[in-house]
Structure 1
Amino acid sequence: MLIGYMRPLQGDENCENQRNTLQDMGCETILAEEHASPKKRTQLASLLERLMPGDKIVITKLFSLADSSRHLVELLEEVDSRNAFIFSLAENIDTGNSSGYSFLYITKHLVDFQSDVNSEKTKQGLLAAKEKGHIAGRPRKPDKNVRRAIEMYQSKEYSLKEIKEETGISKSTLYRYLEG
């Protein structure tokens, strides 16, 4: 069965263009989200629950289905696990067409690649900052305040709230210093 899926997109807020395209493609059922937000996509959840082997989800473009490459991989895996398919018209991607590498396989590697790129850029940035004398992370609290907080805690005369108000040292920071 061909199942159309759409959600409001910039330039097609009422999904009229998507609906016309999906109807022209012969979709037997068309599900539409009421909002563009990635949260609470009830129609998508319902579609995935009812998906049967051999069904094909038809979308006008990948972004109407997924909000990120990771989300796309999750959806591709879910659809694949149900022996169903996705057909994206704008990108001309049909996961039911088995010639060459599968789209899921390629997308997984693209997500891993993007993750590696982000990780490498972060590491390079941290190294460059370190070479300039910058220290990553939250600045340490002045030793005087830490010592005062520990003394107040060990005296058992002050609540954690009072310790924080007087020294600026939070409960978690205090406990970290007490453990170390």
Structure 2
Amino acid sequence: MLIGYMRPYQSDVNCEVQLQQLTEKHCEKVFVEEHSSAKKRTELEHLINNLKQGDKLIVTKLYILADSTLHLVEVLDAIKRKGAFFQSLQEEIDTSSPHGYPFHDMVEALAAFQRDVISENTKRGLYKAKQKGVTTGRPRKPDENVQQAIVMYESKQYTLAEIKAETGISKSTLYRYLEQ
């Protein structure tokens, strides 16, 4: 079965262009999200849950299906587990053709590459900051607040909520200092 999936986006707010293209591809069913948000993609979730082996999910462009490389990998994995196929018209991707299967592997490799780039850039930035003498991480609480919180805690006259309200020191921070 050919199944279309649409969601609004800036250039096609009413999904008219998508509907026309999916109709031309003879989609037997079309699932439409009511919103363009990345969150709560209920129609996509429903579609994937009901995919049968041999079905093909068709979108007009990759962005309709996923909002990030990681999300794309997750959706493609779910489609593959169902024994179904995926087609994106704009990018000319079709996993039902022999040339389409490596696409999933390429997306996974790109996602891993993206994670590595972010990780290396973060490490490089931390290293440069350290070389300049910049302290990284969460700023330490002022010592007088910590001392006041410890005194209040040890007096056993205050609840943890009262200590936090008075000093700004959270329960976990207080316990960390008490362990030292």
- The normalised TM-score by structure 1 is 0.94
**CA 1:162–1:40 in 2, change beyond 3 Å: closer, same or farther?**
closer
The answer to whether 1:82 aligns with 2:102 is no
Amino acid corresponding to residue 89 of structure 1 in structure 2: L
1:108-147 matches, within 5 Å, as 108-147=108-147
Q: List per-residue Cα deviations over 1:24-48 (Å, max 9, x = no partner).
A: 1111111111111112222111111
| Unaligned ranges ≥5, structure 1 | none
| Unaligned ranges ≥5, structure 2 | none
Mean CA deviation greater in 114-123 or 126-135: 126-135
| CA apart distance, 1:146 | 1.7
**CA 1:115–1:41 in 2, change beyond 3 Å: closer, same or farther?**
same
1:34-49 matches, within 5 Å, as 34-49=34-49
Mean CA deviation greater in 30-39 or 100-109: 100-109
Amino acid corresponding to residue 176 of structure 2 in structure 1: R
Task: For 2:165 and 2:28, locate their aligned partners in 1 and report how far apart those are by CA, in whole Å.
Answer: 64
1:1-16 matches, within 5 Å, as 1-16=1-16
Task: For 1:101 and 1:121, locate their aligned partners in 2 and report how far apart those are by CA, in whole Å.
Answer: 31
Amino acid corresponding to residue 137 of structure 1 in structure 2: G
| CA apart distance, 1:121 | 0.3
**CA 1:36–1:114 in 2, change beyond 3 Å: closer, same or farther?**
same
Mean CA deviation greater in 123-132 or 137-146: 137-146
Q: Which residue is equivalent to 1:70?
A: 70
Amino acid corresponding to residue 153 of structure 1 in structure 2: Y
**CA 1:47–1:100 in 2, change beyond 3 Å: closer, same or farther?**
closer
- The normalised TM-score by structure 2 is 0.94
Q: List per-residue Cα deviations over 1:37-66 (Å, max 9, x = no partner).
A: 112222111111111111111110000011
The answer as to whether partners of 2:93 and 2:100 remain within 8 angstroms in 1 is no
Amino acid corresponding to residue 115 of structure 1 in structure 2: R
Task: For 2:144 and 2:9, locate their aligned partners in 1 and report how far apart those are by CA, in whole Å.
Answer: 55
| CA apart distance, 1:83 | 0.8
Amino acid corresponding to residue 152 of structure 2 in structure 1: M
Task: For 1:50 and 1:164, locate their aligned partners in 2 and report how far apart those are by CA, in whole Å.
Answer: 49
Q: Which residue is equivalent to 1:18?
A: 18
The answer as to whether partners of 2:95 and 2:101 remain within 8 angstroms in 1 is no
